[in-house]
Amino acid sequence: MVFSNPVFMFQYLALTLLVYYIVPRKGRNLFLFFINLLFYGWGEPVMVLLMLLSIAINYAGGYFVDKAKRSGGRHAAPGGKSRARIPLIITIIVDIGILAFFKYIGLIISTINLIPGVDLPMIEVSLPIGISFYTFQTMSYVIDVYRDDAPVSLNPINFGTYVALFPQLIAGPIVRYKDVAYQIDHRVETLDQFNKGVKLFVVGLGKKILIANQMGAMWEAMRATGEANGVLGSWFGIMGYAMQIYFDFSGYSDMACGLGNMLGFEFLKNFDYPYISSTVTEFWRRWHISLSTWFREYVYIPLGGNRCKIPRQIFNLMVVWFCTGLWHGASYNFILWGLYYGIILIIEKFLLKNLLAKLPAVIRHIYTIFIFLIGWVIFFFEDMGEMGAFLASLFNFSDGIVGTQALTIIMRYIVIFAIAVAACTPLGATIYNKFKDKGFMWLPETAYCAGVLTVAVAAMVQQSYNPFLYFRF
C-alpha cells in the first residue's frame, strides 16, 4: 500500500488511528503488529509469511546472541562474546541470504552466465516490497544486541511491531533498533506530538504529490522528446529528475516520521537539505542519513574505518560504496553509481579537501550540483547505451541549446520547478522557525494543512500517475 492512495488515507489510516487510540495502551503493540501485517500483505499477502519468517529468525538471533553472552553469569563471562558470534553470524548470513535471493538472484545468475559456456536458467522472483529496508533494520538489531548497544527484545510481538512498523516499512527511514527500543515498550502518545505528526505528514504529502509527481512528469516529457531537447533541455530534464527523486523520497520520509509521531514514535531525520551541500562528502551526510549511518556503523567502522593506513581506508570506502550502490537496486548501473561516489569521496578526502575549502562558495556548490546531477543520470539509466547517450546530450551543443518542445515543457513546469528549488533550501524552515512560537501561528499552519490536503487529495483522485520511486528497492 502506498501513502498517497485513498485506500491508505481514508480507510487504513482512519481505521488504524481510531482503533489504536481506543485500545488500552497494553494492547497497542499487538494491534499495531497485526495492522502492520495487513499493510505489508496488501496486494501480496503471501509475503506476510516472509515477513513473519524474518521476524522469527532475527528474534531468535537476538535471543541466542544475548544468551551466549550471558552464559556464566548476569554479566558476560569471559568468552561470552566470542560464543555469541556464532548466532550473530548465522543470523546475518540468513538475512543477507534472503535479501540476495529475493532481490539479486536475477542479477547474480545473469552475471554468472556471462562466463562463456555457462547457461544457468533464470529464476523469476518478485521483489517483496521494503525488503531492503527491513532487512537492514533487523540486522541492526542483532548486531546492536551483540555489541551491547541495545537490549534484547524478549517480547516477540513488540519485536515484530518494530520490524514491520508500517510508517517506515516500505521506504524507510531505516530505523535502528537502539533508537526506538525504549519507545517500543514505553512510548506515551501526546496531542502535541500527534499535531506535530500531522504537520509533518502534510508537508511530506505535499512534497510527494505536488512537487515530486510534477517534476517526474517533466522528466518523462523531456525523455519522450529525446535528443531534440538541446543541451539546456537535457540539463533541465535531469534537474527535474533530481527534484523528483529528492521530493519523492524525502516526502515519503516526512510522511513516515509524521505517521510515527501520530502513533507516539520519534524517528530520526532522514534528509537535511542535501542539495545545498558544498561538497560531495557533505551531500552524503545530508542525503538518506539513515542509510549512510547504517553503512558507517555496520560496515565501514567494523572494517577498520579510517583508523588504518590509507590504502586500507580506500579499500574500506570502496567496499562501502559498492554495497551502497548495490543496495539501491539489482542492476549494474547502481553499482556504477555507488563506485562513482566512492571514487569522488576518496578524491575529496585525500586530495581535494584543502583545495575545495579555499574555493569560493559558488564554485563549490556548482561542483557539488554537477556531481550529483551526473550521479542521477547513472542512477536513472539501467541501460548503459541510453545512459551514455544522455550523458553525451548534456555536453553536445550540436543538438542546439534548447528545442522548441523542451522549451514548452520547461515553461509549463517552471513555476513548480522554482518552488522546488526554493524548497531544497532551508529558507522556508528558517522563516517558519522565526515565527513558530508566536500565538498566531495556528492560522497559517491550519491554512497550510487544509490547502495542501485539498490540493493533494484532488491530485490523488486525478492521478493515476502515482508510483513511488523507491518502491523497487
Partner 1 sequence: MKSKIKLLPMVVFLLFIYVLAVLFIALPKKDYSSSEKRYLAKFPKTNFETITNGKFEKEYEDFVADHFPFRNTWIGINAYSNLLVGNNGNDGIYNCSDGYLINEPVSNDNRAEVNASVLADFAKSVKLPMTVMIAPSTGYIMDNVLPMNHRPYIDDKLYEQIVSTLGDSAQFVDIRAKFKSEAKNGTQLYYKTDHHWTTPGAYTAYTSLCDALGLTAADKSSFKVEKHSGFYGTTYSGSGFWFTPADSIELWKSDTDKHISLTITEGDKSEKYSSMYFKKHLKEDDKYPVFVDGNHAVETIVNRESDGERVLVLKDSFCHSIAPFLAENFRKITMVDMRYYKNSISEMVKKGNYDRVLVIYGIDNFATDTDLAWLS
Q: Cβ 45 to partner 1, closest distance in Å? A: 5
Q: Closest Cα to residue 328, out of 380, 386, 289, 286?
A: 380
DSSP-assigned letters across all residues of 189-246: --HHHHHHHHHHHHHHHIIIIIIIHHHHHHHHHHHHHGGGGHHHHHHHHHHHHHHHHH
Binding mask 284-323 for partner 1 (x = CB under 8 A): ----------------------------------------
CA distances from 295 to 106, 128, 248 (A): 24, 22, 22
Q: Cβ 444 to partner 1, closest distance in Å? A: 10
Is there binding between residue 169 and partner 1 (CB under 8 A)?
Answer: no
Q: Cβ 41 to partner 1, closest distance in Å? A: 9
Is there binding between residue 433 and partner 1 (CB under 8 A)?
Answer: no
To which H or E segment does residue 69 belong?
A: helix 47-70
Q: Cβ 334 to partner 1, closest distance in Å? A: 27
Q: Closest Cα to residue 218, out of 421, 433, 8?
A: 421
Is there binding between residue 170 and partner 1 (CB under 8 A)?
Answer: no
Q: Give the integer Cα–Cα distance in Å for 469 and 220.
A: 13
The answer to whether 337 touches 378, Cβ cutoff 8 Å, is yes
Residue from 385, 411, 430, 434 in contact with partner 1 (CB under 8 A): 411
How far is C-alpha 17 from the chain's CA centre?
25
Grid cell 527491513 in the structure block, residue: 134
Site residues for partner 1, 198-227, by CB under 8 A, read 198-199, 201-202, 224-225
Is there binding between residue 166 and partner 1 (CB under 8 A)?
Answer: no
Q: Among 186, 288, 328, 365, which one carries the catalytic annotation? A: 328
Is there binding between residue 416 and partner 1 (CB under 8 A)?
Answer: yes
In this structure, which amino acid lies at residue 443?
Answer: L
C-alpha cell at 76: 558476560
Which range touches partner 1 (CB under 8 A), out of 248-256, 333-341, 349-357, 456-464?
Answer: 456-464
**Is there a catalytic annotation at residue 186?**
no
- Interface residue list for partner 1 (CB under 8 A): 5-7, 9-11, 13-14, 17, 42-46, 191-192, 194-195, 198-199, 201-202, 224-225, 228, 404-405, 408-409, 411-416, 419, 439, 441-442, 445-446, 448-450, 453-455, 457-459, 461-462
Q: Which residues are catalytic?
A: 328
